Structure 1
């Protein structure tokens, strides 16, 4: 496991060196600024499995550096943890939007750092295995005829795959970390809205992996565009389910949002085979709010998804999930 730590404070770097060594991590590289970090990242003989970035640095700060790192294909899925003494929600939000996986507050707690490193290692190994599986699928696609290749799945319908290049959209793990790291009071100030793609099983069955991921990206873009004024954080949870985290005081009409999303998706001009309109639709759940006694992020997300599914069932009937797409 090769680590990179970037911080403009030499004292922090020495502290991290000692802490990481005590945890058994010796293959660690250090940088005092973004330029030094990028020089290390661009070296052909180095491949980092976890990266730590200080948020506040002179010149290019850690948030912008995180954004640059995510633009490098090799590092799109590598865990990036922010090191910060900043407590403003805006800075934390900006870090996750830029591609951060997690963050740790300064002063650094040794036990917490060790636990999060183990999680990062598990995540890195899982993502590496997933990448190898996708590469194998690509090889098979080149070797098989077109009809057989179209049946090679790169991911399952239930996989919470990462959607790239849509503002304020982060992956499910990053969303979980983001919500868990907020204080109970801050989580109480948030609500969640669930979205469910209608007829998603048929849509998935009739799409190639690339086509289905493109559709998910378009849906994420539509959700972002229609929640732009609410500073939403959006994530995909698999099975055609999205969740947007918004301020609990947001005044959002469930029905109006569904209509607006349908109009946005229609404007995208999505089509099925033969050039016919796809008529892609989303069911929107009611805004779910936390209480002071129940602020578990996983339960908040699960309730939001349940509300979206309940909306779909009540308005369109459960059989719609299994009907043919078109």
Structure 2
């Protein structure tokens, strides 16, 4: 894996090179500033397969550099790991909003560094395989139902693995978050009917509906496969979980979705949620997101079994909707 490491501290760059070499990564190029990095990126003959960017640098910082790299179509999905000793949530959010895939903290923990690099290499390999499979085809093959593909041109969308990394890395003790999961209850049926880019179009349209509801809020959104769109609201929002769920379902209900052959599809969606007032541990954050997904999956299963009618949603709370419907 070819790596570009960028840091204004030459001692850190030397340390990074040593750690990478010890981990088996020998093809490493370094740059002492964002400006130098952009020159290197524009002149290399063989593209990079991973980036390690320090967040705080004089001039153009690592977050801005991350955005510049993402703007290059060649590196739209290339793993970008942010490197910083900061635990300030402001910089953390900016990095992921700019397109960061993961993070590495200073001082470096060799074991964690290897794990993060291994994940980056896995991501890069998957992207390379996908690109090879699609080379020369005018239309992208329909993704598998379980495939967590990247949302296309959706505000504040990030890859699913990046969302997980964000939840794991949010500094402890920050204010609460609201985690949501939109589940396309009839995903199997729509996926079967769709061809080419149709299924991606449907998922992206649902994600766009979510962003309409969240306009003005701070959030990240991701597609996690199997008809599930996960989104995390971080910071203040003037809606309750119930109001967000209601608004999303209303917005989706207004969509006029048609496939390439002109046929109309009617998405049946449910929204699960979970939140905590203070996010103090990695496990609590991940559990919060998983609870939202399980909530949505449970409601979708109840809908499929005829135990809940979508028109009756939402009730007093999302869990009441599920268990109240099951008891009815």
TM-score tier (shorter): 0.7 to 0.9
Secondary structure at 2:248's aligned position in 1? Answer: helix
Q: Which residue of 1 aligns with 2:293?
A: 305
Which of 250, 261, 272 is the aligned partner of 1:285? 272
Q: Which residue of 1 aligns with 2:160?
A: 172
Q: Which residue of 2 aligns with 1:33?
A: 33
Q: Which residue of 2 aligns with 1:158?
A: 146
Looking at structure 2, the residues matched to 170 and 105 of structure 1 have their Cα atoms a distance apart, in angstroms, of 20
265-274 or 26-35, larger mean C-alpha shift: 265-274
Q: Which residue of 2 aligns with 1:181?
A: 169
Which of 257, 260, 270 is the aligned partner of 1:270? 257
Change (3 A) 1:81 1:313: same
1:74 aligns with 2:105: no
Higher share in strand: 2
Deviation at 1:158, TM superposition (A): 0.8
Gaps of 5+ in 1: 142-151, 321-326
TM-score, normalization by structure 1? 0.81
Alignment of 1:20-169 (within 5 A): 20-135=20-135, 138=137, 153-169=141-157
Looking at structure 1, the residues matched to 251 and 297 of structure 2 have their Cα atoms a distance apart, in angstroms, of 21
Deviation at 1:253, TM superposition (A): 4.5
Contact 1:192 / 1:289 at 8 angstroms: preserved in 2? no
Secondary structure at 1:42's aligned position in 2? Answer: helix
Give a deviation string over 1:200-241, Cα, whole Å, max 9, x none.
Answer: 111111112412112212221221221234422222111111
169-178 or 103-112, larger mean C-alpha shift: 103-112
Looking at structure 1, the residues matched to 306 and 194 of structure 2 have their Cα atoms a distance apart, in angstroms, of 20
Which of 199, 202, 206 is the aligned partner of 1:212? 199
Looking at structure 1, the residues matched to 240 and 266 of structure 2 have their Cα atoms a distance apart, in angstroms, of 22
Give a deviation string over 1:254-294, Cα, whole Å, max 9, x none.
Answer: 55434433453466543346757544342112434488799
Contact 2:5 / 2:51 at 8 angstroms: preserved in 1? yes
Change (3 A) 1:310 1:107: same
Change (3 A) 1:259 1:191: closer
Contact 2:151 / 2:157 at 8 angstroms: preserved in 1? yes
TM-score, normalization by structure 2? 0.81
Change (3 A) 1:286 1:252: farther
Task: Supply the RMSD in Å over aligned alpha carbons.
Answer: 3.0
Deviation at 1:302, TM superposition (A): 2.5
Looking at structure 1, the residues matched to 89 and 224 of structure 2 have their Cα atoms a distance apart, in angstroms, of 23
Give a deviation string over 1:13-54, Cα, whole Å, max 9, x none.
Answer: 222223323333322111122222122222351221110111
Deviation at 1:252, TM superposition (A): 4.0
Contact 1:154 / 1:209 at 8 angstroms: preserved in 2? yes
Alignment of 1:189-268 (within 5 A): 189-247=176-234, 252-253=239-240, 256-265=243-252
Looking at structure 1, the residues matched to 106 and 270 of structure 2 have their Cα atoms a distance apart, in angstroms, of 42
Change (3 A) 1:255 1:176: closer
Contact 2:79 / 2:100 at 8 angstroms: preserved in 1? yes
Contact 1:62 / 1:82 at 8 angstroms: preserved in 2? yes
How many aligned residue pairs are there? Answer: 306
